[in-house]
Amino acid sequence: MVGSCQTRSVTEKDVYTHGHSDAVLRSHRSRTAANSAAYLVPSLEAGMRLLDVGCGPGTLTADLARLVAPAEVIGVDVSADVVAEATAFAAEAGIDNVSFRAGDIRDAGLEPASFDVVHAHQVLQHVSDPVGVLVTMKSLARP
């Protein structure tokens, strides 16, 4: 249903298909706003609240947080281990307007229509219900 977040559990099909091996994480750690979200950067402004779906180790999320500071940025990923890494990365980098949550975006407990930007980079091809994820993303974006 558009406009609402439905509670559901993560299934085995919703686990990141590439896994979070050292090689995959090494590749994801190199992601920045410039090299992975250049299409989005010109539209970002300070004060925009942003959600990054499938945030991985948080380097892209943290870079986006710098661009919209002081607004809040939230990264969500299904892997608790990767979210812990993202949290540590942001703390070490001194970025205090970003936080991370482990879990499925469809059951993340986020307020509908509360984000100016809802972003996902290379995520939809890895979920069992990409349309459901898009519906949830739309419900979280401000009109």
For residue 11, what are the contacts with CB-CB under 8 A and spacing of at least 6? 128
For residue 136, what are the contacts with CB-CB under 8 A and spacing of at least 6? 5, 6, 105, 106
What does CATH list as the number for 19-140?
Answer: 3.40.50.150
End-to-end, the C-alpha distance of the chain in Å comes to: 16
The reply to whether the predicted model has a pTM over 0.85 is: no
Cis peptide before 70 (omega within 30 of 0): yes
Closest CA to 136 of 114, 125, 55: 114
- In order along its 143 residues, the chain shows pLDDT tens digits of 333 333 344 444 455 555 555 655 655 566 878 888 899 999 999 999 999 999 999 999 999 999 999 999 999 999 899 999 999 999 999 999 999 999 999 999 999 999 999 999 988 887 889 999 999 999 999 99
User: Which residue shows structure tokens 């943290």?
Assistant: 62
Facing residues of 101 across strands?
A: 76
